[in-house]
A and B are shown apart, each in its own frame.
Chain A
Amino acid sequence: MDVSQYLEIFIDETKEHLQNLSDELLILEKEPDNSSTINEIFRAAHSLKGMAGTMGYKRMQKLTHNMENVFSEIRNAKMKVKPALVDTLFRGLDALEGYLDNIQNTADEGTEDNEPILDSLNQILNEGLGIEAPAKKEEPVKAAPVGDNGSVAKFQELSVADFEIHAMKKAKDGGQNVFGITVYIQESCILKAARAFLVFKALEELGEVVKAFPDVQDIEDEKFDFDFSVILLSREPADKIKEEILRVSEIKSAVIGEFQIPDQPTAENKENNTAAPVHEEAPAPAAAVQAATAAKPPQPEQNATVKKGATTSKPVVNRSVRVDIEKLDVLMNLVSELIIAKNGLVSIGANETSGNTATAAFNEQIEYLERVTTNLHESVMKVRMMPIESVVNKFPRMIRDLSKKLGKKMELYMSGEDTELDRTVIDEIGDPLMHLLRNAADHGLESNEERRSLGKPEVGSVWLDAYQDGNNVVIEVRDNGKGIDTESVKNKAIEKGTITPEQAETMTKKDIIDLLFRPSFSTAEKITDVSGRGVGLDVVKTKIEKLGGDIECKTTLGEGSNFIIRLPLTLAIIQALMVELGDEKYAIPLGCIQTIEDVSMDDIKYVQTKEVINLRGTVIPLIRLDEVLDVEPRKEAPESLTVVIVSKGDKLAGLVVDNLIGQLEIVIKSIGKYINNDKIISGAAILGDGEVALIIDANALV
């Protein structure tokens, strides 16, 4: 057997443990006395060390070992948690992540020894312990009072062959111990064979496995329940062997005791058998018990974190398979094709006007097909969805670091981490969000003194909220800092020549804020100093628009800013309204359409020589799509106009079209990068009859 096949599990679990460590460290920093947190940290570090060791990553093991030593001292209350300590530990975590990256890319941990981190860890350890005599590093894990639900020393029931007895006797005469071990794997474990293999590997380092039940081949083939027994010849003490076994993840417990060699009951053996075999639970329940006994005001929250930590380290049984994202893309493409084919049938069905029974049945079947394809599409989309958690869970750490670096006190509040987004969006959204958070922390929040003098709470707050809103997912990045000073932005814009003073007069606050998203603003350093915003916001905007979303900013001077990102739930297939302009057909995404109105020519008013309508009290500018798109206008002027009201955020606009065709499910295809289109066209769709219709990006028009 070769360890490489476990590489993937190793990487996944290491990631999980690292994330866990990072989360818990953040808690620890705030509540240095939280014993359940330190236990959780210790456990994660311990399993990390064991895993790295088993996989043969010595450097990683060494670093975790050193970190673990520190954790262990903290746990034993020999050391206090100090900011410098947490900093070093975070550096250690970063280094571990570096190793993991290397392993992920090359299956090798690399050659970086991270000596400075090791040194400072040791230094902390020495300082913290002071002159105290080097205490025993690892406190023996408390035996949990919890019942051992059926963990019995099954090894005693093993039947052994003569030659095995012989070998055991011989070993015993040679001064080795003969241990019987029964290992129980957690019932939630998915890859039992892998765990068993790791146990075997650990055991083989300590001694010689003479017998296993079920036999090794069956264990490799996963032909066992949740326990297996072995007989081990070893010179090591039972405690040490047990510790090594429990170091493997997802091992529930291990029962170890002297194996009674048949027909040779010596006095020593008897004694061992009458005494209950040494039995321990994995430390998890102990941690839970401690958490429960400690009773302080922030208790419920703490309990929740512990529970969360426990569930992430012991994955609940969820029946899942890993699928290559490319395979999903293929599946998605096939679904797209199917929808195009279905649209073809729909259009044939619509042309069959003779109302005989055959067409009725035909239409019925088409409707059925339509339902199936829509459901199929939804299912495939859902498979591609991932909770946004994987992106945002690194942010608390980032805010912490920023807080240190900038010398500002701040707190990040997140909600809606379980909001799901398409995988491709998840991959891309991290950077823009990080950028916005940095902006909020760096430029948005005032310094501690400033906040105090303003009568605000000294600790600044940054919020990251994600939630679903209809067909969109909205992510808001908010802060309660100083907000954006629109006046100074305006003045700077005039100074720079971006806008003329006359233009500035007529600009609304929103228009001015939109200036910040212009590329020309991003490089202007002066603006950054004055307004505190604007670095790279255009990049953020471009990225989000590439994902089919949009971003807007609301701000109140002195109270803070709010950046709102809207992202479409689905990228490839949307519902659209088909419209006609001259002889050409265009699609308008249904998501941005508010209403459709019939406007008589008399209702058109003029504001600043632009056409507007007054629709139930709201003034809405009209956009003549035929002019924008250079379509040959119709000859006779109609008495009334068909206007599609579209919205982008709070802004509305009325698109004038010649004719409405109807609603259609369309598959968005790119029109390629070589052809310019002024951003008005966001893509193309193939209609049922094979014709191509262009999709109008209402966001670019409004």
Chain B
Amino acid sequence: MADLNTVKIEEGKQYICVKLGDEQYGIDIQYVDNIVRMQKITRVPKAQSYFKGVINLRGEIVPVMSLRLKFDLEPDAYSNATRIIIIKLEQQASVGVIVDEVREVVTLEDSCIDKPTYDGADGKSMYISGVGKHGEELISLLNIADVIIEKDNI
């Protein structure tokens, strides 16, 4: 069993495949700490517009951002499938991102990933590190660190 797992990891990276509107995004699983259901979010005044506020995650305060607002999509309509993915980039600093739906965990080999075409005019293209092909479907792979850490000049 253990052998199987190691082999799998060597083959490629694992991504959590989430849905946002009509598009599918992949988040590198190594940054994902947890996936929780939608819960009450406390608004933080004067925060960036895409930050919905903070939640109480088992005694820890975790800020939550809306990927939809970050990507200039329609505002979130919360449903039963809405989830908050807790991203842990570094110790003691978690961030939650709201997604419409969590689909599955996929393993993508390097050969299945196309590098994105860089478009300097499009500020959002930097959030995508590549496009993965999984069967018939295309998954935009998120460069999650850049999504979360605001760069002032862009």
Contacts and interface: CB of A to CB of B under 8 A. Distances in A.
A575 interface: no
Given A671-B54, A694-B42, A676 B47 contact: yes
B55 interface: yes
A2 interface: no
B16 interface: no
Given A672-B63, A675-B47, A691-B42, A686 B93 contact: no
B44 to A, nearest CB: 6
Contacts of A693: 42
Nearest to B150: A674
Where chain A touches its partner, the secondary structure class is: loop
Nearest to B148: A674
Interface in B34-55: 40, 42-48, 51, 54-55
Contact of A680 (B43, B45, B59, B60): B45
A556 B56 CA distance: 49
Contacts of A677: 44-47
B61 interface: yes
Contact of B42 (A337, A680, A684): A684
Interface size of B as a range: 20 to 34
B51 A692 contact: no
Interface string A500-526: 000000000000000000000000000
A639 interface: no
B48 A692 contact: no
B94 A672 contact: yes
A451 B1 CA distance: 84
Interface in A640-699: 669-678, 680-681, 683-684, 686, 690-694
Central interface residue in B54, B55, B65, by most chain A CB within 10 Å = B54
B84 interface: no
Contact of A684 (B40, B61, B93, B149): B61
A674 B44 CA distance: 12
B98 interface: no
A629 interface: yes
Contact of A681 (B45, B94, B95): B45
Contacts of B54: 671-672, 675, 684, 692, 694
B95 A686 contact: no
Contacts of A678: 45-46
Nearest to A693: B42
A284 to B, nearest CB: 49
A692 B42 contact: yes
B53 to A, nearest CB: 8
Given A673-B93, A674-B93, A674-B149, A686 B59 contact: yes
Nearest to A690: B56
A671 B63 contact: yes
Contacts of B60: 669
A677 B59 CA distance: 21
A354 to B, nearest CB: 28
A358 interface: no
B45 A692 contact: no
Contacts of B94: 672
A319 B45 CA distance: 50
Nearest to A336: B59
Find the residue from A337, A340, A693, A694 having the highest chain B CB count within 10 A. A694
B141 interface: no
A628 interface: yes
B56 A676 contact: no
Interface string B76-107: 00000000000000000111000000000000
B45 A629 contact: yes
B62 interface: yes
A671 B54 CA distance: 7
Contacts of A630: 45-46
A677 B48 CA distance: 8
B95 A672 contact: yes
Contacts of B51: 674-676
Interface in A478-512: none
Nearest to A685: B61
A340 B59 contact: yes
A469 interface: no
A693 B150 CA distance: 25
A584 interface: yes
Interface in B4-53: 40, 42-48, 51
Contacts of B40: 691
Contacts of B61: 669-672, 683-684, 686, 692
A681 B51 CA distance: 15
Nearest to A681: B44
Nearest to B40: A691
B46 A671 contact: no
A675 B46 CA distance: 9
A340 B61 CA distance: 13
Contacts of A584: 42-43
Contact of B63 (A628, A674, A680, A686): A674
A669 B60 CA distance: 8
B117 to A, nearest CB: 29
Nearest to B48: A676
Contacts of B42: 584, 684, 691-694
A684 B59 CA distance: 11
A628 B45 contact: yes
Nearest to B46: A678
Contacts of A671: 44, 54, 61, 63
B30 to A, nearest CB: 19
A98 B61 CA distance: 42
Nearest to A584: B43
A684 B54 CA distance: 9
B86 to A, nearest CB: 12
A542 B65 CA distance: 27
Contacts of B93: 672-674
A631 B150 CA distance: 25
12 contacts: A628-B45, A671-B63, A672-B94, A675-B47, A677-B44, A681-B44, A684-B61, A686-B59, A686-B61, A692-B54, A692-B61, A693-B42
Interface of A: 337, 340, 584, 628-631, 669-678, 680-681, 683-684, 686, 690-694
Which 8 A-B pairs give the minimum distances between C-beta atoms? A678-B46, A629-B45, A692-B42, A675-B63, A669-B61, A684-B61, A672-B63, A675-B51
Given A675-B54, A694-B42, 19 more contacts: A584-B43, A630-B45, A631-B45, A669-B61, A671-B63, A672-B63, A674-B51, A674-B148, A676-B48, A677-B44, A677-B46, A677-B47, A681-B45, A683-B61, A684-B54, A686-B56, A686-B61, A694-B44, A694-B45
